[in-house]
Amino acid sequence: MYTDLFYLTIIYVRYSIKARGEKMNEEELILRCNKITIDADREVRRLKNDFSIDKCEYGIGDIIEDHYHIIEIEDIRAYTFPNVVYIGTQLTKKLDPTRRQDDTRMYSMNVKRKIK
**pLDDT per residue over 18-59, tens digit each?**
656 667 777 877 888 888 888 888 888 888 888 888 888 888
Mean pLDDT over the full length of the chain = 81
More confident site: 5 or 2? 5
- Residue 70 burial (CB < 10 Å; 0-12/13-18/19+)? buried
* pLDDT for 83: 85
* pLDDT for 64: 92
Rounded to a whole number of angstroms, the distance between the first and last alpha carbons of the chain is 42
Please state the domain extents for the chain. Answer: 2-54, 63-114
Strand segments (E) across the chain? 63-65, 70-78, 84-90, 103-107, 113-114
Which phi and psi (to 5°) does residue 98 adopt? -75, 170
Residue type, 31: L
Residue type, 79: Y
Q: Is the pLDDT of residue 4 over 70?
A: no
Whole-model pTM: value is 0.66
